[in-house]
Structure 1
Amino acid sequence: MRVLLVEDDQVLGEALRDHVAAAGHAVDWFLSVVDAMSATGTVEYGLILLDLRLPDGDGLSLLRSLRSRQDATPVIILTAHDQVSDRIEGLNSGADDYLVKPFDLDELTARMLAVSRRYAGKPTSTIRLPGIEIDQINRNVVVDNEVQLLSAREWAVLDKLAARPGAIVSKAQLHEELYAFGAEIESNTVEVYISRLRKKIGHDRIETVRGVGYCIK
């Protein structure tokens, strides 16, 4: 999924960006409320990781702005402030979860998945389709009882398609899953990863809707 990271600490921001990207997500990292606000107006994110104390204001102002315009993007607050009152204010402002710094990166990964799962209305982290089982936590894909190993980008494409089986996902939406801001987009990237996925999960399981996009049956 496409993740928005709002964190002004350079060292922590780099660590978070690299960790989330290593899990197969595209990450846009901004250090201020203004830049993050601008990004949310142009990109549809699957999740936002939000620091509260930023150089140009409080991250809660961004959160409240999102909720006031009916933007339901899941938000996990990341902050060094561990007062109960701070947590209550964040949750009451519309946050979906709250992590106090310092935190374990693996815990962050687990919470990201849990929040995304709740947002999608899925009770478990396993997606089962005819002949396919997708374990989102361990990033395992079993096809006809055989484990298939996927690269980070192959996983990103499959995860987007499998989130809503039968629904058409456009090429532009898949680009958003694969590329962060500023990355050079190659024109045939989506086709390349769709082709690789078909070889691993079966050519007939991913349908091309000409001129529109792709869907997993």
Structure 2
Amino acid sequence: MRIILVEDEPGLAEMLRRFLERERFVVDHLDCLAAAGDACAMVDYDLALLDRTLPDGDGLALVGALRQRRPGIPIIMLSARGDIGDRVTGLDHGADDYLVKPFALDEMLARIRAVSRRPSQMQGDRIEAGAVVFEPATDAVEVSGQSMTLPRRELRVLAALIRRRGRTVMRETLEQAVFGFDDEIQSNTLDSHVSRLRRRLREADAGVEIHAIRGVGYLLRAAP
């Protein structure tokens, strides 16, 4: 899952980013409306965490841009403005949930899981390829009925490939799914993650193959 985090308080933003990345999310942190608006125009985010009070305006101004790009995106507002009127305004303007600062990180994570499970946000039923089963709503992976834990970026590669199983996924699409704006990407970084994922799947006898399509991207399909 790729999250846009719009928060202008550096300390809080860094804490949230590190926490979410430990939970295997890809996080793009922006600190103002202008930069966040540019990001929304380029990336199809899976979830948004928006501060209400930003240097150049109200985070609610981003709701329209996010929903235009991806109508079903879950949006959680983060704000120190916690009176009933502010919360009602946020929800009436399209937010799915509203967290009042200060909040516990575990509560934020629970809210993320909750809005991601809502019927309008569900990304479809479980996906199967070979002996692999992937649950889009929870990012859970099983191989032959056994849970498989993958490093964050390998999980993001698998999610992008298995959703498009049997079709070539362009490198640019994979890089967008796997890396945030602040990540340093070398020319072979994606290939290294794919190679490690391919090895793990082979060792688990997962019954799938990942093929490199030279100069284009990668393709995952069930092994013959």
Q: Judge same fold: TM > 0.5, yes or no.
A: yes
Identify the range of structure 1 (196-205 vs 57-66) with the bigger mean alpha-carbon deviation. Answer: 196-205
Is this contact kept in 2: 1:50–1:75, CA < 8 A? yes
Please state if 1:199 is matched with 2:203: no
Amino acid at match of 1:88: V
CA distance in 2, matches of 1:71, 1:136: 17
**What's the counterpart of residue 148 of structure 1?**
148
C-alpha displacement of 1:159:
2.9
CA distance in 1, matches of 2:66, 2:138: 31
Identify the range of structure 1 (12-21 vs 89-98) with the bigger mean alpha-carbon deviation. Answer: 89-98
Query: Does the C-alpha gap of structure 1 residues 151 and 71 become closer, same or farther in structure 2, counting only changes over 3 Å?
Result: closer
Please state if 1:213 is matched with 2:209: no
Identify the range of structure 1 (161-170 vs 51-60) with the bigger mean alpha-carbon deviation. Answer: 161-170
- The 3-state SS of whatever aligns with 2:5 is strand
Long gaps (5+) in structure 2: none
Q: How does 1:7-46 map to 2 (within 5 A)?
A: 7-46=7-46
Q: How does 1:1-217 map to 2 (within 5 A)?
A: 1-67=1-67, 69=68, 71-72=70-71, 73-118=73-118, 119-122=121-124, 130-134=130-134, 141-163=141-163, 165-166=165-166, 168-202=168-202, 204-208=207-211, 210=213, 211-217=215-221
- The 3-state SS of whatever aligns with 2:42 is coil
Amino acid at match of 1:36: A
TM-score (norm 2): 0.79
TM-score (norm 1): 0.81
Identify the range of structure 1 (24-33 vs 82-91) with the bigger mean alpha-carbon deviation. Answer: 82-91
Q: CA RMSD in A?
A: 2.9
Query: Does the C-alpha gap of structure 1 residues 117 and 11 become closer, same or farther in structure 2, counting only changes over 3 Å?
Result: same
- The 3-state SS of whatever aligns with 2:60 is helix
CA distance in 2, matches of 1:79, 1:104: 13
Q: Give CA-to-partner distance per residue, 1:107-164, whole Å, 9 cap, x none.
A: 32233234334423447xx665552344678865331244433222212222333445
Is this contact kept in 2: 1:26–1:176, CA < 8 A? no
Alignment: residue pair count: 214
Query: Does the C-alpha gap of structure 1 residues 148 and 115 become closer, same or farther in structure 2, counting only changes over 3 Å?
Result: same
Long gaps (5+) in structure 1: none
CA distance in 2, matches of 1:121, 1:150: 20
Q: Indicate the percent of aligned positions where both proteins have the same amino acid.
A: 40
Query: Does the C-alpha gap of structure 1 residues 17 and 70 become closer, same or farther in structure 2, counting only changes over 3 Å?
Result: closer
CA distance in 1, matches of 2:145, 2:61: 48
Query: Does the C-alpha gap of structure 1 residues 196 and 46 become closer, same or farther in structure 2, counting only changes over 3 Å?
Result: same
Is this contact kept in 1: 2:76–2:96, CA < 8 A? yes
Is this contact kept in 2: 1:153–1:178, CA < 8 A? yes
C-alpha displacement of 1:167:
5.4
Amino acid at match of 2:81: H
Amino acid at match of 2:211: T
CA distance in 2, matches of 1:138, 1:3: 14
C-alpha displacement of 1:86:
2.1
CA distance in 2, matches of 1:188, 1:147: 29
- The 3-state SS of whatever aligns with 1:214 is strand
Q: Give CA-to-partner distance per residue, 1:190-214, whole Å, 9 cap, x none.
A: 2222222222223751443725433
Query: Does the C-alpha gap of structure 1 residues 83 and 113 become closer, same or farther in structure 2, counting only changes over 3 Å?
Result: same
Is this contact kept in 1: 2:132–2:207, CA < 8 A? no
